[in-house]
């Protein structure tokens, strides 16, 4: 029997298993508290200005006006983060925000400039498309990408270009979540329709409806990002300790450590 750490069958949680809802609610709380620790780390106008980091990085991308700033503010329960990205000089830059309790950074959010804004000169657009593509292709610690799309537009051509860029990395384990923002503007039927269409287009990624206004999808997304940032749990084989007789059970150092938790 394989059980993963965090889901261990200890005596206390088999006799007093919390209901699924209670457990989900407390997990959502932990994820929300973690996201709330977000603080401005640095701004990088070009890739070479990005600090070398080893902690997991989660990038937010999307067309201008897709609701990216609102989404980041909502997830982190802060108004100042999006404000930081609007500061002159930081708008055409990758803005990094550190996450982690007690001032320790255990993950980073990267806010990439919105693309597709009509008023931006073509040269600048192309430059940014290149920077973004290079970032998504090469950033070593990139763990996941959240792409925000206006559900009334769905995945546009520019979104598709970026999806093509990251596809090989998604196949190698990079996490991808496409968020259909502003879902409060859709009827239930429209929402389900665009969800199915986008799922077909997002190849390998998760797709969710999200509304900052109606608070739809926030807990789910927060929990998902929290899981992305945790290192994958190594499976623990509990078969022996449950079924073996004491004379056959040799206690490993891991078992001893487990007991002391
Ligand atoms: N109805 C609705 N409007 C939203 C929502 N999220 C963002 N908006 C609006 O969409 C516009 C663009 O949002 P913003 O976060 O600045 O987009 P960004 O350019 O992608 O950062 C603003 O007018 C927001 O108020 C939402 O969940 N529901
Ligand atoms: Mg914005």
| CATH classification at residue 168 | 3.40.50.300
Nearest Cα to Cα of residue 131 among 22, 198, 206, 45: 45
Q: How far apart are the first and last CA of the chain?
A: 21
- With a CB cutoff of 8 Å and minimum separation 6, the contacts of 233 are 4, 5, 6
User: Is position 65 within any domain?
Assistant: yes
CB of 185 shorter than 6 A to ligand 1: yes
CA–centroid distance, residue 95 to ligand 2 (Å): 11
User: Is position 11 within any domain?
Assistant: no
CB of 113 shorter than 6 A to ligand 1: no
pLDDT at 261: 30
Q: Please give the number of the atom of ligand 1 that sits closest to the Cα of 185.
A: 1
| Segments of the chain scoring below 50 in pLDDT | 1-15, 240-261
- In the three-class reduction of DSSP (H, G, I as helix; E, B as strand; rest coil), residue 58 is classed as strand
Alpha helices in the chain (DSSP H): 11-15, 20-36, 68-76, 80-86, 122-138, 157-171, 188-201, 218-229, 239-243, 253-259
User: Is position 188 within any domain?
Assistant: yes
pLDDT at 159: 94
pLDDT, tens digit, for every residue of 95-135?
999 999 998 999 999 999 888 877 778 888 888 888 999 99
User: Is position 10 within any domain?
Assistant: no
User: Is position 3 within any domain?
Assistant: no
pLDDT at 90: 62
The pTM of this model reads 0.82
pLDDT at 13: 41
pLDDT at 142: 98
pLDDT at 238: 58
pLDDT at 36: 96
- Which ligand number lies closest to the CA of residue 63? 1
The count of domains in the chain is: 1
User: Is position 82 within any domain?
Assistant: yes
User: Is position 15 within any domain?
Assistant: no
User: Is position 36 within any domain?
Assistant: yes
> Which residue range forms the structural domain that includes residue 244?
25-259
């Amino acid at each position: 029997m394989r059980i993963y750490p965090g889901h261990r069958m200890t005596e206390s949680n088999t006799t007093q298993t919390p209901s699924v809802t209670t457990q989900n609610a407390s997990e959502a709380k932990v994820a929300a508290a973690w996201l709330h620790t977000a603080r401005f780390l640095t701004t990088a106008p070009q890739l070479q200005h990005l600090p070398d980091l080893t902690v997991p990085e989660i990038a937010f991308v999307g067309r201008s006006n897709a609701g990216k700033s609102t989404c980041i503010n909502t997830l982190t329960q802060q108004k100042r983060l999006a404000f930081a990205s609007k500061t002159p000089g930081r708008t055409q830059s990758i803005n990094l925000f550190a996450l982690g309790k007690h001032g320790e950074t255990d993950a980073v959010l990267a806010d990439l400039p919105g693309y597709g804004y009509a008023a931006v000169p073509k040269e600048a657009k192309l430059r940014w498309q290149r920077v973004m593509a290079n970032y998504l292709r090469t950033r070593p610690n990139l763990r996941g990408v959240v792409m925000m799309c206006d559900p009334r537009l769905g995945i546009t051509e520019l979104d598709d270009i970026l999806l093509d860029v990251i596809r090989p990395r998604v196949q190698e384990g990079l996490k991808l979540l496409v968020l259909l923002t502003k879902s409060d503007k859709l009827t239930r039927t429209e929402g389900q329709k665009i969800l199915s269409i986008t799922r077909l287009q997002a190849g390998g990624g998760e797709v969710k409806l999200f509304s900052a206004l109606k608070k739809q999808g926030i807990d789910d997304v927060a929990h998902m990002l929290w899981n992305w940032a945790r290192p994958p749990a190594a499976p623990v084989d509990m078969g022996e300790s449950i079924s073996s007789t004491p004379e056959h059970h040799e206690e490993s150092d891991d078992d001893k450590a487990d007991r002391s938790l």
